[in-house]
Structure 1
């Protein structure tokens, strides 16, 4: 059996291994394939290069069932979670923090080829939107044209097979071709894409929070009317976000392996006496340390006439349990809320942060349960730090 570089899945042949990498991992951000055959040192960042290299230089080995891949003991370390007896696999450098374990199926899961193919297509569309900044209209066009292309290929193949066997008593292949699913079926529109991503890829969607409503005079055609204007902001539920985050094995490993220093040097906030005096963190080294950050962002030209009109206030958080050099990466930073700066001034931070504070109180009193390796792990946590620049810190502090 050939183990996968990215997950715990095992394949019987190299050909099936290459196919698995394409279907399950080729769309992940910062894709890097490092496991060559028979000591091959080549590395690849896209799937097409892997396929070309294997076909040219390892064609005779693709059907082999003997594992000639290099040992992964130098790249993958088995970490025992002593408190719970759970075993996870993590990259020593964790350069793909939050990526590989999200998208790879587990070895003990039974995943049908149709589900795997649809998952690969959904990740492909998500990559087009988020990495390459395609608009939704462009993504819908890609889906439509790809569906037509695939259907044309299937129709041509169907006709060729039909012509070749129509005169003989061969098995009926019509049903096989007609029942072949289209990989983009169920992903044609933004609604269906969002529904699939939310249900299958662990995405936590923001919810609108109502603040207040005002009445303003607006024009409908040539008529002036009184219209209700609702002030809202977008909030990403903290508890749901933490559950999704901790379902990633690499994040969970970071939480379960505290990075306290053994000497008297303060290397992080968890080494300070103030941190050690907090009762919640005295109870367990694995309780969640929430570090919140606030800043404002101008979405228009700061020198233009619309400067300040659409300015946004953004709240983020990360986990202090993650080591500092990984904590500062973009993938480790999660969005809490997004609101216009005018509403920040109008309603104040107390009103805006109410749902966040409620979730923090629930986390500190009731905790959240994470199912891992058949065992439920209960985590508590609280707000550890609030970071901001000078202007934002004055606003939060009420100065």
Structure 2
């Protein structure tokens, strides 16, 4: 068995995912493979024998660890140093009682998939294609099994989005089409790279976009994202539950302000929007069809000054929004007030 000093990584027993942090691999196992019929995960921390079967989620494992294992986070977040060369690092794995297991000294934990289960799964996958490729080569059989396995993983991905993350069918349809299109472009680029003799390393579709921080950074740099700023209004006192007692605590009240001038700058940099704003909207038939046709605008000290300069007409619009749409006595509990700027 490889040790941390030898620079080993934790490998997923189902796919090519690997990580130098045990907890990251456990999260991946539950989120990516938790619905697989052959999925079994044994806790293993301090020789714990609790087994999580197919359909279990990472929150169940985390709740178990909080209740039963005091230092579980410290034990599962020890980082293993990767190897210094460019070769694939050895896998930190062990075989015990016929079970494929990921294991680290002091951390425990295993993916309990028996060899018998794996054989049954392989037979089940191959049976689907027996009639079509019974006389084919082993290579054709392997390709057919791989295709069926990928299709099962895609189906589990869709099921996770729909049931665990509560996506609507419209959102799900868009996600499937978008991922399919990205995969097509990636495959096309990979074929072109191979044709040109480029043997570079595999790059993910979401390189530099894996976390919320990286996503926000990219949005700012490429899409002109302007984040809201928390502005302090003052403080108030309210009761909060602290253990078994309620205490009166001081709470800072804030509101979220999206900077107006940077937003206007981004909008006016759009050629179509600028042309529409610069266009004269006043009517000549003495009818009111726009704000600039009214007497208030025509008599205003700023807008009535015909010096040829462009003047923006901004209207502040206030509205209340109930963000959770509750019924009965809970109405108004999550109501937000918003001030919108209209041009």
TM-score normalised by length of structure 2: 0.41
Higher relative contact order structure (alpha carbons within 8 Å, sequence separation ≥ 6): 1
TM-score normalised by length of structure 1: 0.36
